[in-house]
Amino acid sequence: MQMPEPRADILTGRARIVERLRAALPPGAVIDDAIELKVYECDGLAAYRCPPMCAVLPGSTAEVSAVMRICNEEGVPVVPRGSGTSLSGGALPTADSVLLGVARLNGVLEVDYDNRFIRVEAGRTNLSVTGAVEQDGFFYAPDPSSQLACAIAGNIAMNSGGAHCLKYGVTTNNLLGVTMVMADGEVVEIGGAHLDAGGLDLLGLVCGSEGQLGVVTEATLRILAKPEGARPVLVGFDSSEVAGQCVSDIIKAGIVPVAIEFMDRLTIRAAEAHVAAGYPDCEALLIIEVEGSAGEIDDQLGRIIAIAKAHDPVEIRESGSAAESERIWKGRKTAFGAMGQINDYMCLDGTIPVSELPFVLRRIGELGAEYGLDVGNVFHAGDGNMHPLILYDANKPGDLEKAEALGADILRLCVEVGGCLTGEHGVGVEKREIMTAQYGADDLEIQMQVKDVFDPQWILNPAKVFPLEVSAGRRS
Amino acid sequence: MKITSEQELAEAIRGANGPFRVRGGGTRDIGKPVVGEALELGMSGIELYEPAALTLVVRAGTPLAEIEAVLAGEGQRLAFEPMDHRVMLGTKGEPTIGGVVAANVSGPRRIQAGAARDFAIGARFVDGSGRIIKNGGRVMKNVTGYDLVKLMAGSWGTLGVLTEVSLKVLAMPETEATLVARGKDARHGIAALAAALGSPWDITGAAHLDPGVAGPESETRVRIEGLAASVDYRIGALQREICAGWEVLRGDESAALWRQVRDVAPFADAPVVWRLSVKPSATPAISQALGQAGLGHAALYDWGGGLMWIAPDPEHDDGGAEAIRAQIAAHGGHATLVKAPADLRARIDVFQPQTGAVAALSRGLKQKFDPRGILNPGLMG
């Protein structure tokens, strides 16, 4: 992975730029000490690191606006950062950039149960949005695995999903409005407490734009009444293909579980070794969760189990209590960490049509064998969003590059079968160069023209999303 | 000009000398009247339908009725419940899926399932320069590049002409039922809807109709859909907690109530109809203020109150625009003049006028997507 050469003219102006930012922000909001900057040198894609020229931590929309005004005047790239949990390098700085962290913007501005929304500052963590309303029986639906740490700002930038988006949709389906600071510092309000746009759907455009169109400082989010209860069933199969068929049959039967999660043998064993969740040792495992009252849950699980039984499962375990539910989920929720115990890993995020699941799983196995790398699969099966985990050894020279090449091959495979490069992690730097596998020249050009409208100077997160060569003319 | 392929469309747009009026089925004559050659889109047909993956890829000119029939054959449907504008506008023709997406047309279930824009997961279109563009795909989760599908949904053919759309579909429920109360004023009706929508019982329709709209008394309606036992359970829970004494209508009777709301059928004879998307709890006050401003209107409230259909007294010279837009200025949201004679639509802003940075962004996007200004020029203002 390459990043553009830092611009010498910006680096020579560093002292002046830092000075101007200091003058505009309260004490302590500008960080330029080399040791303190280490915190900001990478995000969740820790294989790539580069400290920014400086970091700023504004505490209000007005302060974000002041930062953007200065950076726009100076022509300095700005890399926005929520909590830094991105798995695609969305918050990876360049040496000539100002890293803009929104972590201090974490307040709740308004809670409105009659109209079912909450307005928060965008640095607030995903889980603490639900935390602000759950005592009154409400929740915020999108639930990325990193929800304890990740910020709403980053969720909006990457249009994050989560295990439960099969029923509730992803961020864009739950976002009502934003306050956003434009590249030139102007503050714009898009959407609000009402539904849908009165003109062009700018909100739909901003969501998932990876911090390239503006810095979101406040968000109005839909909140929903919590269901009365939820309960999973775990089903083990001795073939991935059969597990995939079972998923299809459940969906075709008209049942909408809130989540259908899939784990393969490698991740099942890793999870067992890690937390001893009591999973069966089998080729494929599904965790299917439904919601409702006790009676509604029984009814739905009964139908799901009847379908599963027709596929010769090696084990069916229906949760009968909160403790059993927790145990069923435990292995899944800690699966990434469990894989990390085995080795370093690279987590992919391609989405495929659900019908292609058996073929894609088989091909991933074959590709892994060709590269001599193990690949674990744990993912959201209901919506086809795969998370192949490529195991590699960061200390072994050449292993990272090999994993990157395998990753690119797997993502190309996802596109070939009718899917896409990324379902919820974003393109960032990780998938930037293979965007051409999914999009033609005009498809990319029109997206870059959208950025031209929002950010004519291309100072917002410029070295992301588009292949470097394709965006070179605009970034210079 | 009748267009039968994407390639032909691209060539026609590239070689165009004057503006086009983009038409799907011609059932939604909404917006400022557009002067230009009619561009009639004939590309029709389902390209891919995978019921087990809940996905449908379809050419933009495909009649909605054809799609709904095919989906029904597999027990599925378009869950955003697109409104049939023919009922209220008195138009003829066959609605097409391209028109539905281009106008982001949703119905009562929008409040629970989402809008057309939420179900549109991929698109192909030809922009104003004649470039053939694809965006999104046929999978539900996709953050590969910017989401131009959302931008195209609701852009009314002003940024590009859709040639193909991919949609997420959902299963039809086993059954449905509606709880109905009569005689509540708007404030109490909408408060009841808010309570129902704030309950865990998964309401898929929440409407209030002023007296005189669907009958002499007002009606407040709450819909539940799902497995039969679950619907029974939730009716019981709602009657116990929120809807004590409300009448229960089931099956076809229930469905008819929501077709009426979806299509705003009670305003079929009204010459002027506005559509307001606002914060639900603000609507009773808005209605009251409009009454005080002498609008002499009746209102149909969908989406728990957040969608207000207003048929003002047609005597008003501006169709009630000044009074209605003043309410939007005070409460937020947006108002669209969906139905009015062409001369009135030519005189006033049909879509909510934009200001400042939002207006500049919209203008900037139009300029990039359609630099010559030949696609439905002026339709959105």
CATH classification of B265-347 is 3.30.70.120, yes or no? yes
What does the pLDDT profile of chain B (381 residues) look like in tens digits? 889 999 999 999 999 988 999 999 999 999 999 999 999 988 999 999 999 899 999 999 999 999 999 999 999 999 999 999 999 999 999 999 999 999 999 999 999 999 999 999 999 999 999 999 999 999 989 999 999 999 999 999 999 999 999 999 999 999 999 999 999 999 999 999 999 999 999 999 999 999 999 999 999 999 999 999 999 999 999 999 999 999 999 999 999 999 999 999 999 999 999 999 999 999 999 999 999 999 988 899 999 999 999 999 888 899 999 999 999 999 999 999 999 999 999 999 999 999 999 999 999 999 999 999 999 999 998
The DSSP-derived string for A106-152 is: --EEEEETTTTEEEEETTSBHHHHHHHHGGGTEE-----TTTTT-BH
pTM of this prediction? Answer: 0.97
Residue B354 and residue A296: Cβ atoms within 8 Å? Answer: no
Residue intervals of chain A classified under CATH 3.30.43.10 are 8-103
- Chain centroid offset of residue B234 CA: 28
Cα–Cα distance for residue pair A263/A272, rounded to 1 Å: 12
Cβ atoms of B170 and B113 within 8 Å: the answer is yes
Structure tokens at A305: 């189990």
Secondary structure of residue A476 in the 3-state scheme: coil
A interface mutation test: which of B142, B176, B235, B365 has the most A CBs within 10 A?
A: B142
Residue A114 and residue B281: Cβ atoms within 8 Å? Answer: yes
CATH classification of A230-336 is 3.40.190.10, yes or no? no
Residue intervals of chain A classified under CATH 3.30.465.10 are 108-225
Amino acid A223: pLDDT: 98
Helix, strand, coil percent values for chain A (each to nearest 5): 40, 20, 40
Cα–Cα distance for residue pair A465/A445, rounded to 1 Å: 12
Those of residues 198-237 in A touching chain B at CB distance below 8 A are: 198-205, 207-209, 225-228
Closest CA–CA distance from residue B311 to any residue of chain A (Å): 19
Query: Would B175-262 and B265-347 be classified into the same CATH topology?
Result: yes
Q: Is the dihedral of CA B241, B245, B247, B251 positive or negative?
A: positive
CATH architecture of A343-416: 2-Layer Sandwich (3.30)
Say which of A189, A195, A292 has its CB closest to residue B303: A195
How confident is the model over A283-292, as a mean pLDDT? 96
Secondary structure of residue A293 in the 3-state scheme: coil
CATH topology of domain B175-262: Alpha-Beta Plaits (3.30.70)
Residues 6+ apart with CB under 8 A from A307: A246, A249, A250, A253
Cα–Cα distance for residue pair B60/B39, rounded to 1 Å: 13
Task: Tell me the H-state helices in chain B.
Answer: 6-14, 64-73, 85-89, 97-102, 110-113, 116-119, 148-152, 186-197, 228-241, 251-262, 283-292, 321-331, 342-347, 356-369
Structure tokens at A232: 């999973």
Count of CB atoms situated within 10 Å of the CB of A272: 16
Residue intervals of chain A classified under CATH 3.30.70.3450 are 230-336
As a CATH number, domain B2-171 is: 3.30.465.10
Which chain A residues contact residue B132 at CB under 8 A?
Answer: 442
Those of residues 433-462 in A touching chain B at CB distance below 8 A are: 435, 438-440, 442-447, 449-454
Cβ atoms of B308 and B286 within 8 Å: the answer is yes
Q: Where are the domains positioned within chain B?
A: 2-171, 175-262, 265-347
Residue A251 and residue B117: Cβ atoms within 8 Å? Answer: no
Nearest to A264 by CA among A245, A292, A237: A237
CATH of A8-103, one of 3.40.50.300, 3.40.50.10360, 3.30.43.10, 3.90.45.10: 3.30.43.10
Which chain B residues contact residue A195 at CB under 8 A?
Answer: 110-111, 115, 277, 303, 306-307
Cβ atoms of A217 and A59 within 8 Å: the answer is no
CATH classification of A108-225 is 3.30.465.10, yes or no? yes
CA angle, B281 as apex, B276 and B282 as ends, to 5°? 55
Count of CB atoms situated within 10 Å of the CB of A35: 8
Position A117, amino acid: F
Secondary structure of residue A426 in the 3-state scheme: coil
Residue B133 and residue A442: Cβ atoms within 8 Å? Answer: yes
Cα–Cα distance for residue pair A100/A153, rounded to 1 Å: 12
Cα–Cα distance for residue pair A77/A458, rounded to 1 Å: 8
